[in-house]
Amino acid sequence: MDLEHVLRGSVPRPGGFDDVVVTVSSGQVTQVRSPASDDPESSGILLPGLVDIHNHGGGGASFHSTSSDEIAVAAGVHHAAGTTTLLASTVTDAPDRLLEVVAALATAAEAGLIAGIHMEGPFLANSCRGAHDPDRLMAPDVGLTRELLAAGRGQLRVMTLAADLPGADEVAAVLAEAGAVVALGHTAATAAQARAFLAGPGSLVTHLFNGMPPAHHRDPGPVLGSLGAAGVGDACVELIADGIHLADETVRAVMSMVPGSVVLVTDAMAAAGMADGDYQLGPLSVEVRSGVARVADGTGSGSIAGGTSRLMDQVRRQAAAGIDLAMLMKAASVRPASVVGIDAGRLDVGARADLVVCDESLQPVRVMRGGVWLSS
């Protein structure tokens, strides 16, 4: 028999909270209403399950893997921390290896462990490669793109492309025809190229500011081109709001400029939820010191190599910095889900019962995924 859960808590609304009672039955939210006198006491702050559309792993495990056990560990670490829906991200690698990884991730998606695949590379600009192996970067290739889509069996939801590379438009057209989201990233595109790309096949910007030249008042580049496109169109911009990839003031500024277009992501790698140490990001070795992941180059100053936060960490950090929690939650739940075409991140009747119960400091206390409480 399916258990029914009745939870009372504070749900963030613009400028404050509403006290509500949520009923869950058969894995779905079946009722959301105002409290009555005989309802249970509040459990704390109630949030919809978070949605992370750019995530390379966690718990010492990587999504860039053909091991079902490793993929499950990486997903579980984020699920338990409140990210009940996520895309598994790959990194640049040899074509044969990418095809194997995508096929394994497609199996995990079909099992419901992840919500699909995000491919970051291999069609990225060498000058903006960040933590991607320069020896495995490739020019955009329509044939390989079709092979990757076939290996993904309908689960390849996002691919990051450098718009300035010859052939990017042709690959973008193939992706769009297959229903995949085309993301602009790791690119040295001009502002005009970025705007055109996002007005055409592109609808997402991969970790804005990171993996692209900094904006200059006489050379706005992809940063200001992307913000301009987001301000007038439907494109959304990813922000890694962990205080490492972006300063908190930068996050605040972007959320003020394009409040309806921000998507929070972790870009998490295997070290998320783990101690400092040595890890792998695809074919590259990574060292994590004081929570900062960098490509191991012998100097300790290599390129930042993904994140070590989980999405709730970013929500908590930015709420403490003064950004409205309701605004943050849209950027960490329903908006990223909408961008990639999945139904998640809602606390509404008929939605899958993905809930996060938090204390007043936004630390997760309990997490429900599909109507089942997860162990922490």
Which of 304, 218, 301 lies closest to 266 in space, CA to CA?
304
Nearest-angstrom CA–CA distance, 244 and 266: 11
What are the structure tokens assigned to 332, written together?
């960490």
Helices then strands, each counted (H, E), the chain: 10, 21
Q: What is the CA radius of gyration of the chain?
A: 20
- Decide: 90 and 63 in contact? Cβ < 8 Å: yes
Q: What is the DSSP letter of 165?
A: S
Q: Tokens 């990839």 appear where?
A: 245
Find all residues with CB under 8 Å of 275, minimum gap 6, and list them: none
Pick the catalytic residue from 164, 267, 313, 354.
Answer: 267
What are the structure tokens assigned to 293, written together?
């992941």
> Residue 14, preceding bond cis, omega within 30 degrees?
no
Is 278 among the catalytic positions?
A: no
Find all residues with CB under 8 Å of 285, minimum gap 6, and list them: 278, 279, 295, 296
Nearest-angstrom CA–CA distance, 337 and 132: 26
- Decide: 205 and 230 in contact? Cβ < 8 Å: yes
Which of 293, 322, 306 lies closest to 266 in space, CA to CA?
306
**Amino acid letter for position 72:** A
Helices (DSSP H) in the chain: which residue ranges? 68-80, 95-110, 142-152, 168-177, 191-199, 221-232, 248-257, 311-320, 325-332, 334-339
Nearest-angstrom CA–CA distance, 13 and 317: 18
What are the structure tokens assigned to 287, written together?
């060292």
Q: Tokens 């509040």 appear where?
A: 42
The whole-angstrom distance between residue 202's C-alpha and the CA centroid of its chain comes to 17
Query: Which residues are designated catalytic?
Result: 267
